Amino acid sequence: IINIHPSLLPKFKGLNTYSRMLKNREKKAGCTVHYVNEKLDSGSKIIQKSFFINYKDDEINLKIKTQKLEQRAFPQAIIQIFRNN
């Protein structure tokens, strides 16, 4: 089982990711495709994609930018899994 999470794990596991990024004044955001294990958002990373956070970004902008990356990252992760097996 694989999962996609809207942060650069291991940072910001769980919920309310975008608000926590902004509160923490992060410089980069992105997504992580990872294997699921017994711990929350702690499985081995398959692929990460990132972008720089603009000072004008809010939670909505971060979500939109992250979802665009997720749309590319998920298929790339699946291809990578099949190539490694």
Chain center to CA of 50? 8
Q: How many CB atoms lie within 10 A of CB 60?
A: 9
Mark whether 5 is an active-site residue: yes
Tokens of 4: 């996609």
State the catalytic residue, choosing from 4, 5, 46, 62.
5
Q: Give the residue numbers annotated as catalytic, written as ranges.
A: 5
